[in-house]
Amino acid sequence: MRPQMTIMAVLATLAGTAGLYPLFTSRSWFWYGLGAVLCVAAGSAAVRYFRLPAVVGVAGGLGALLLYLTVLFTPGQALLGVVPTPGSLRALGAVANAGWQGVNQYAAPVPPVKGILMLTAAGVGLVAVLVDLLAVWLRRAAPAGLPLLAMYSVPAAVRDDSVSWLAFGVGALGYLMLLTSDAREQVGGWGRAVEPARRTEDVPYAGETADAAPRVRSAALAASGRRIGAGAVAVALVVPLVVPGLRPGGWFGLGDGDGNGGSRTVTTPDPLVSLKRELTRQDDSVVLTYRTREEDPDYLRLYALDRFDGDRWTYNALESTGRDRLTSGRLPAPPGLADGVPTRDVRTVVDVRPEVRRMTFLPVPYAPTRVSVKGEWRVHPPSLMVYSLRDSAGGRSYTVDSRRALPTARDLAGGGSSPPDVVAHYTSYPRSVPPAVRRLADQVTRGATSAYAQAVALQRWFTETGGFVYDLSAPSPQHGSDLVAFLLNSKRGYCEQFAASMALMARILGIPARVAMGYTAGTRTTGDRWTVRSRDAHAWPELYFPGTGWVRFEPTPAGATGQGTAVTPPYSTQAQAQAPETPETRGGEDDPAAEEEAEASPSAAPAQRDDLPGDTSAPETREDGAPYGWMLAGALVVLLLAAPMVARALLRRRRWAAVDPSSSGSGGPRSRRTAAEPVPADAAHAAWREMRADALDHGLAWPSSDTPRAAARRLTESLHLDEASAQALGRIAMAEERARYARAAVRVPPSVLRGDVHTVRAAFSQNVTRRARWRARLLPPTTVTATTSAARAYGDRAADAAARAREAITARVTALRDRD
């Protein structure tokens, strides 16, 4: 039966599920997983009770899981609500299918819908079956960690931010408990068989009591085992905090908390995480409402992402100073907007819902000229982003005056040249962008003569001719390769892909471009009231044209088969481009209230800013953290694997460098200095140690009672070394022997010894098994031993220190108690 191990397997699996919490928006999934684990354990235990083989045990676990799922999800189609029928199985399959679609549709955290819960219960149940099979049936508790790890790795793979350390600690401790319990049971099995205490129960000896029976003194061993286990978990928790790039994200608090916060919390699109989460929110909650007299209000912009790092669009760290504060409410003039272009001043009164959290950037229509808002807000002059280092827009009401540019196609095609700083900053893209994308950009815009024509051609290609499909189930673009795949192959995506791709292609064509992120105009409710919901979150490219400045384009398909509330700006359609004679003549007369002073305040002009370290620099590091974190983790793994090999090579180099300065040209000046006058004995010792390490690496025996010549003789005989190798070995042994025991060491040039060592190593390598050969290359036992012995020494020292500290504390406590 192994009841204890069964319980431990259940607990370990449940502890492992702790890591799944960031995937869900509520906690109900846990109870489904708990039920699945218990059912599997019960089914498996029942099979054990009847002493049937392990195969039946797995079948029992799976059967119990199936029953559980049937009862929970498809009782209607099942016989008596319990027994699965073909119909109920089909229904179960349908539920699973729905769940799978849900998983693909929603970004984590996902709401606890039926299908997803069923998948979760099934997955946790399967892990439980595997753990039960390995740990309880096969008595292999250690490999039982693999299914647990697989389960744990799901959130790590799905979420950009990592799982909290607490969840990891719980999972790791659960696994340790499983190991401990298994080991205790094995040792206990040995111990009980010979324990006299057992016998006394049956046939008590005269004068002997159960207490007198000798007990296995395993306390010290167990204590060190616990020390090792707790130490390992502690190291695993501490190392990521110390190593940069592995730190769990959390600047925006997405790592934990908001997933469980309930439906009251409304999140805002974060430029650094996918918009997808907003677009796929189930509740589609209201983010803000606004009033405007515009018939077709412009988009509300939160961010302008001016940097493409090869993978994603992001913004350079904002260098904020006190001069950026919105004291008068006035903003700098819109960059690049000349007088000749028709504009309209618009006033927008925005009410942000109080549930909105962490909205530290204000959604404003471009180009804002004046913002009246309470709190400490700042402006980023080049992009006119309005943000706060302290306050959140949640629950605030503010008024924005903006100057909406209404350029004609002629204005945009009008020529002139962009300022050099704008061109330099907004047309750069990494070299890693594949040539195929550059060719594509040229191909799409073939025949277009001006930058404007090129931009229109691009937008047309995306929305009409390119064959793109708006598809929210596409994975969010995390890497440059995702964008390339979108452009060249899949052609399925949502606003993020469209906006990012068009901005990138514009840059390739030499048009200054950036990606804006925020909300579409939303939907009109009554009169001048508009409502913006979280699904109105949007990304779009902004292109710079001389004379007009930044102009919005819309490559994302709009309407029913696209971003519902997206609107293509009138100046960006092909017809407009071909018919520049139909200017938009609407002036700024619509809104008299907006006729206020809208000129830029000189004091707010862009200037050299002082660095403001802190919040503003954080977003950048976080953005870089995602891809670099993975690279760093990979590099760390490679480094760990290569460490013994590298350590061995370094040691070899150091040995020789110390005695043979001529041979180590790259050894650097340090070795040159220390080896200024190499002693012959040192060279012999170095050669000998090196040869000994080689022998040990190749798994050859090396009794400590062997003298140099005895070792050489033994190796020559046991390996049947050829003449040359035997002589080389003899020379090394002879040099070492004289160096150790004679009056004066024989002067053998280190280079000769080095050559001999090399010969002998080759001979070793030839004469051992392939396994030993590769181990010598990849995992040299000498370095491994050195590492473990060093670790053991440190461990001993730490244990000593702990013991001393404990004694000191005990003494102190005793002294205090005595005083009392």
Partner 1 sequence: METGPVASAGLDGLTEVAGRIRGAIESVVEGKGAAVRLALTVLLAEGHLLIEDVPGVGKTMLAKALARSVDCSVRRVQFTPDLLPSDITGVSAYNQELREFEFKPGPVFANIVVGDEINRASPKTQSALLECMEEHQVTVDGVTYALESPFMVIATQNPVEMEGTYPLPEAQRDRFTARVSMGYPDPAAELEMLDVHGQRSPLDKLAPVATAADVRRLVEVVRMQHVAPAVRQYAIDLVTATREHPDLRLGASPRATLHLVRAARAYAALDGRDYVLPDDLQDLAVPVLAHRLLPTAEAQVERRRPEQVVADLVARLSVPAPRK
Binds partner 1 (CB under 8 A): choice among 51, 217, 446, 743: 743
Site string for partner 1, 72-111 (x = CB under 8 A): ----------------------------------------
- Tell me how far, at minimum, the Cβ of 685 lies from partner 1, in Å: 6
How many secondary structure helices (H) and strands (E) does the chain include? 25, 17
Helix, strand and coil percent figures for the chain, each rounded to 5: 55, 10, 35
- Tell me how far, at minimum, the Cβ of 703 lies from partner 1, in Å: 7
Question: Of the ranges 496-504, 626-634, 740-748, 778-786, which one interacts with partner 1 (CB under 8 A)?
Answer: 740-748
Question: Of the ranges 27-35, 201-209, 738-746, 771-779, which one interacts with partner 1 (CB under 8 A)?
Answer: 738-746
CA 532-537-538 angle, 5° bins: 125
- Tell me how far, at minimum, the Cβ of 310 lies from partner 1, in Å: 48
- Tell me how far, at minimum, the Cβ of 661 lies from partner 1, in Å: 19
Answer for the pair 388, 425: CB distance below 8 angstroms, yes or no.
no
Total site size for partner 1, rule CB under 8 A: 17
Binds partner 1 (CB under 8 A): choice among 190, 702, 741, 774: 741
> Is the CB of 673 or the CB of 743 nearer to partner 1?
743
> Is the CB of 362 or the CB of 681 nearer to partner 1?
681
- Tell me how far, at minimum, the Cβ of 690 lies from partner 1, in Å: 12
* Residue 740 interacting with partner 1 (CB under 8 A): yes
CA distance 274 to 798: 46
Question: Of the ranges 94-102, 115-123, 199-207, 733-741, which one interacts with partner 1 (CB under 8 A)?
Answer: 733-741
Site string for partner 1, 756-795 (x = CB under 8 A): ----------------------------------------
**Greatest Cα-to-Cα distance within the chain, rounded to the nearest angstrom:** 119
C-alpha distances in Å from residue 260, one per residue of 257, 264, 648: 6, 11, 50
> Is the CB of 608 or the CB of 704 nearer to partner 1?
704
Query: Phi/psi of residue 596, each to 5°?
Result: -95, 175
* End-to-end CA gap in the chain: 53
Question: Of the ranges 287-295, 307-315, 736-744, 779-787, which one interacts with partner 1 (CB under 8 A)?
Answer: 736-744
> Is the CB of 602 or the CB of 703 nearer to partner 1?
703
- Tell me how far, at minimum, the Cβ of 709 lies from partner 1, in Å: 6
Burial code of 260-286, b = ≥16 C-beta within 10 A, e = fewer? Answer: eeeeebbbbbbbbbbbbbbbbbeeebb
Write the DSSP assignment of 427-484 as a string of letters.
Answer: S---TTS-HHHHHHHHHHTTT--SHHHHHHHHHHIIIIIS--EE-TTSPPP-SHHHHH
Question: Of the ranges 73-81, 545-553, 629-637, 731-739, which one interacts with partner 1 (CB under 8 A)?
Answer: 731-739
Query: Phi/psi of residue 295, each to 5°?
Result: -80, -35
> Is the CB of 286 or the CB of 658 nearer to partner 1?
658
- Tell me how far, at minimum, the Cβ of 782 lies from partner 1, in Å: 13
- Tell me how far, at minimum, the Cβ of 44 lies from partner 1, in Å: 52
CA distance 587 to 593: 14
CA distance 634 to 671: 33
> Is the CB of 279 or the CB of 681 nearer to partner 1?
681
Query: Phi/psi of residue 140, each to 5°?
Result: -120, 85
Question: Of the ranges 59-67, 572-580, 735-743, 759-767, which one interacts with partner 1 (CB under 8 A)?
Answer: 735-743
> Is the CB of 82 or the CB of 793 nearer to partner 1?
793
Site residues for partner 1, 558-577, by CB under 8 A, read none
**CB within 8 Å of 332: residues ≥ 6 apart:** 379, 381, 384, 600, 601, 604, 605, 606
CA distance 361 to 254: 17
C-alpha distances in Å from residue 494, one per residue of 468, 488, 589, 776: 10, 15, 37, 53
Question: Of the ranges 187-195, 497-505, 716-724, 734-742, which one interacts with partner 1 (CB under 8 A)?
Answer: 734-742
Does residue 600 sit in helix, strand or coil? Answer: coil
> Is the CB of 2 or the CB of 689 nearer to partner 1?
689
Does residue 558 sit in helix, strand or coil? Answer: strand
C-alpha distances in Å from residue 786, one per residue of 585, 647, 717: 82, 10, 28
> Is the CB of 350 or the CB of 729 nearer to partner 1?
729
- Tell me how far, at minimum, the Cβ of 739 lies from partner 1, in Å: 8
> Is the CB of 330 or the CB of 685 nearer to partner 1?
685
Long-range contacts at 44-53 (CB < 8 A, ≥ 24 apart):
44/6, 44/129, 44/132, 44/133, 44/136, 44/137, 45/1, 45/3, 45/6, 48/1, 48/2, 48/6, 48/136, 48/137, 49/1
- Tell me how far, at minimum, the Cβ of 689 lies from partner 1, in Å: 8
> Is the CB of 743 or the CB of 770 nearer to partner 1?
743
Question: Of the ranges 107-115, 235-243, 464-472, 737-745, which one interacts with partner 1 (CB under 8 A)?
Answer: 737-745
Binds partner 1 (CB under 8 A): choice among 1, 742, 793, 801: 742
Answer for the pair 334, 549: CB distance below 8 angstroms, yes or no.
yes
> Is the CB of 444 or the CB of 726 nearer to partner 1?
726
* 186: Cα separation from own chain's centroid: 39
> Is the CB of 443 or the CB of 705 nearer to partner 1?
705
- Tell me how far, at minimum, the Cβ of 743 lies from partner 1, in Å: 5
Question: Of the ranges 11-19, 603-611, 741-749, 810-818, which one interacts with partner 1 (CB under 8 A)?
Answer: 741-749
Site residues for partner 1, 441-500, by CB under 8 A, read none
CA distance 685 to 679: 10
Compute how many other C-beta atoms are within 10 angstroms of the C-beta atom of residue 546: 18
Compute how many other C-beta atoms are within 10 angstroms of the C-beta atom of residue 710: 12
Binds partner 1 (CB under 8 A): choice among 411, 542, 737, 756: 737
- Tell me how far, at minimum, the Cβ of 695 lies from partner 1, in Å: 14
> Is the CB of 138 or the CB of 742 nearer to partner 1?
742
**28-49 and 3-17 are packed helices; what angle lies between their axes, rounded to 10 degrees?**
160
CA distance 97 to 119: 9
> Is the CB of 94 or the CB of 710 nearer to partner 1?
710
Ramachandran region, residue 714 (left: φ > 0; alpha: ψ -120 to 50; beta: rest): alpha
> Is the CB of 161 or the CB of 737 nearer to partner 1?
737
- Tell me how far, at minimum, the Cβ of 740 lies from partner 1, in Å: 6
Question: Of the ranges 243-251, 563-571, 732-740, 786-794, which one interacts with partner 1 (CB under 8 A)?
Answer: 732-740
> Is the CB of 287 or the CB of 757 nearer to partner 1?
757
Instruction: Give the CA dihedral 385, 627, 269, 304, nearest 10 degrees.
Output: 20
- Tell me how far, at minimum, the Cβ of 705 lies from partner 1, in Å: 5
CA distance 189 to 25: 45
* Nearest one of 429, 481, 435, 437 to 458, comparing CA atoms: 437
- Tell me how far, at minimum, the Cβ of 816 lies from partner 1, in Å: 46
> Is the CB of 371 or the CB of 684 nearer to partner 1?
684
181 is written with which tokens?
Answer: 């319990």
Binds partner 1 (CB under 8 A): choice among 148, 739, 748, 768: 739
- Tell me how far, at minimum, the Cβ of 712 lies from partner 1, in Å: 11
Site residues for partner 1, 669-728, by CB under 8 A, read 681, 685, 689, 703-707, 709-710
* DSSP H helices in 613-679: 618-659, 668-674
Binding site for partner 1 (CB under 8 A): 681, 685, 689, 703-707, 709-710, 737-743
